Amino acid sequence: MSGLPVTRPDRPKPAAVTDGLRSAADYARAEKAEGTRRAYRADWEHFSTWCGGAQTDPIPASAETVAAYLAALADAGLKASTITRRCAAIGYAHRLAGHEPPTQVESVRAVLRGIRRTLGTAAVRKAPAVARTIAAMVKAIPVDSLTGKRDRALLLLGFAAALRRSELAALDVGDIERVEGKGLVVHLRRSKTDQEGAGREIAIPDGRRLRPAAALEDWIAVAELSDGPLFRPIGKGGRLGASRLTDRSIAAIVKRWAGAAGLDPAMFSGHSLRAGFVTQALDDRADPFRVMDVTGHKRIETVRVYDRRNQAFRDHAGKDFL
């Protein structure tokens, strides 16, 4: 997955053309989100290693090689979703290198369909961290430590703005704007569904119960942040780092405080904050379109997925006689 291929013409290309090809390769790779590129790199390395053991070339790979690789993954117990992503990574690498993707051959597609049917494709959903869950988690956090103030602000902001963990990790101090008497505005420069960086704004009311704006401002003040990453690692002795937290670190923070609140950490993830906001808002009969103003979802059907369980009980056929 090093980029676009450089052809071998009869005579050398001018330096400007060679430099242009390198730049084009960089732009081609930039079409994917960083998280996707990171996953694809790991997937490609795994496929290349497997091909080395099988004494076959990873690129261009034959359809038979890819089919055998996917079957080996299934036999090893990987989830259908992981196998599907690795298949996509193989196809993407071939397209970048100027080869026809072997993943589009019908024999490979048939193997992938068979794996999905055999293993099942149902997603393992984590529990949403609704308002009472967030309140319990925040209550378990010590209020007199720098780490506690950071984690409190992180959980409350992630919930109040329905942010993905990657969005939380990417925030800078300059992305937070105070609107006097009302709350905060979060300037989201880029997100999973906005890879071209159009950006959007998310309003965070001051609130009366969880008070996310106050928690965030407390963290910024105590950490003495004026610019750079909003959420940062904290070392021994309370030393504040200059880098930003990773999305994995954010997921670990959610799990940590879920456990401290007496909940099962395995049931929660970084996405629990975003899912919790949507679930809570819909349970409180909020207008789905107003929910979308916060979440940035493009389709109302996506939002309503979070409401199906509540609706199943609310409109149950036997509610009047069971």
Going from N- to C-terminal start, the domains of the chain cover 15-119, 131-314
* CA 203 and chain centroid, separation: 21
- Identify the band that residue 8 occupies on the pLDDT scale cut at 50, 70 and 90: very low
Does the predicted TM-score (pTM) go above 0.75?
no
Q: What is the pLDDT of residue 121?
A: 65
What single DSSP character describes residue 142? -
Average pLDDT over residues 185-208: 79
Longest Cα–Cα distance in the chain = 84
Cα–Cα distance for residue pair 226/107, rounded to 1 Å? 56
Asked if 283 and 130 count as a contact pair (C-beta separation under 8 A), the reply is: yes
Query: Would you state the pLDDT for residue 297?
Result: 85
Whole-angstrom Cα distance, residue 318 to residue 195?
45
CATH 1.10.150.130 fits 15-119, yes or no: yes
For residue 21, is pLDDT > 70?
A: no
Q: What percent of the chain has pLDDT over 90?
A: 60
- Radius of gyration over alpha carbons of the chain, in Å? 24
Helices (H), the chain: 15-29, 34-53, 63-75, 80-96, 106-119, 131-139, 146-160, 165-170, 212-222, 247-260, 271-283, 288-295, 300-304, 308-314
Q: Which two tokens stand for residue 103?
A: 């993943």
Residue-wise pLDDT for 259-317, tens only, equals: 999 999 999 999 999 999 999 998 888 888 898 989 888 888 788 777 766 666 676 77
Residues belonging to the active site: 164, 192, 271, 274, 297, 306
Residue type for position 69 = Y
Amino acid at 35: G
* CATH superfamily, domain at 131-314: Intergrase catalytic core (1.10.443.10)
Neighbour-count burial of 196, counting CB atoms closer than 10 A to its CB (0-12 exposed, 13-18 middle, 19+ buried): exposed
